[in-house]
Amino acid sequence: MNDLLFLSRALELAERGRGHVSPNPMVGCVIVHNQRIIGEGWHRQYGGPHAEVNAVRSVTDESLLPESTVYVTLEPCSHYGKTPPCADLLIAKKVKKVVVCNDDPNPLVAGKGLAKLRAAGIAVETGLLAEQGRELNRRFFTFIEQQRPYVMLKWAETADGFLAPPDFRPIPISGALSRQLVHKWRTEEDAILVGTNTARHDNPHLNVRLWSGRNPVRIVIDKQLSLPTSLHLFDNSQPTLVYSIVPSEAETVGQTKYIPLDPATDFLPQLIADLYQKKIQSVIVEGGAVLLESFLSQGLWDEARIFKSPKVLGDGLTAPRIRGRLVDTDRVGDDWLMTYKPV
């Protein structure tokens, strides 16, 4: 029971890295001696010290480590990357036992860290709270195992099922709290994607204004390169990728990069494959009905977050029909937020 308690604390700590560590996973670590926590840490920033390093550094009396148990949400790394191997650190500190939620799916690690610990005589236990660990790092697991980014669909619809009025006027469908929550989400994902119609009619910034945190990479689908460069998306205020089926006059303009795809091959799978190559681990699709339906029909989605507003339009652009299982429902101001996963 105490193992679950300490691992739950490690999962809480790992969550603090959200929006700061991608493409690395979020990892938390708790060090326990005689049922008392003597050290804690989490991976705070990509390229910075890992959770185990920060936890060991927080221990005031390192002489206790040989009689301590380390609880960590993901298998300690065993390779040299931007930081030294965490498995080597735990071996050097002669910890007694390591308890882990999940094996690392990364081929560079993939059991090697646990094997190294066992070879050094350290007791290892895995699989506790494994489901919670995978859910925490679902973006990372999708990226490694399926070799593509985690795709989140997001839209707001009226009580009678419309995304926008018939004339495509950009009007707020969801409430102020919902819009603020969306900006928080933007700080947590690597990229945000819209289609041509949304870019043209809404002229969105796709940045973070109602929350504090990093801006995502902006992705625009503009197959014929017909969008005017006066749009906010082309203001060069943040990295922007424009995907088309025709070549552009310039490959790069400021922070805007133009990427032509093969017109003879399915567009979205090509785009998703290119995002994987660019190490974009997660993307929010905020496009209009056509783009959202394309992702849904091709099964290119992992999660859908839908705001249901009490507003009524009576007519307009019909919202997509979600074909998935409802996994969560929350009240956000006057709106309902419904979260779906594929069946």
The gap from C-alpha 268 to its chain's centroid, in whole angstroms, comes to 19
Q: Which amino acid does the sequence have at 2?
A: N
Q: Is 52 a catalytic residue?
A: yes
Residue 288 assigned ligand-binding role = yes
Q: Say which of 12, 15, 40, 52 is annotated catalytic.
A: 52
DSSP codes of every residue in 276-307: HHTT--EEEE---HHHHHHHHHTT--SEEEEE
Strands (E), 78-213: 97-102, 123-126, 150-157, 162-164, 191-194
CB contact at 8 A, 339 and 185? no
Residue 22 assigned ligand-binding role = no
Residue 290 assigned ligand-binding role = yes
Residue 291 assigned ligand-binding role = yes
Sign of CA dihedral 292, 155, 179, 342: negative
Residue 343 assigned ligand-binding role = no
Contacts of 298 (CB under 8 A, 6+ apart): 266, 268, 269
φ/ψ of 294, rounded to 5, equals -65, -45
Partners of 157 in beta bridges: 308
CB under 8 Å, gap of 24 or more: what pairs does 264-272 form? 266/298, 267/221, 267/223, 267/243, 268/294, 268/295, 268/298, 268/300, 269/298, 269/300, 271/219, 271/221, 271/243, 272/148, 272/149, 272/151, 272/300
Rg, C-alpha atoms of the chain: 23
Residue 156 assigned ligand-binding role = yes
CA pair distance 10, 13, nearest whole angstrom: 5
Residue 313 assigned ligand-binding role = no
Residue 86 assigned ligand-binding role = yes
The annotation places the binding site for NADP(+) at 156, 198, 202, 288-294
The annotation places the binding site for substrate at 186, 206, 209, 286
Active site residues: 52
The annotation places the binding site at 50, 77, 86, 156, 186, 198, 202, 206, 209, 286, 288-294
The annotation places the binding site for Zn(2+) at 50, 77, 86
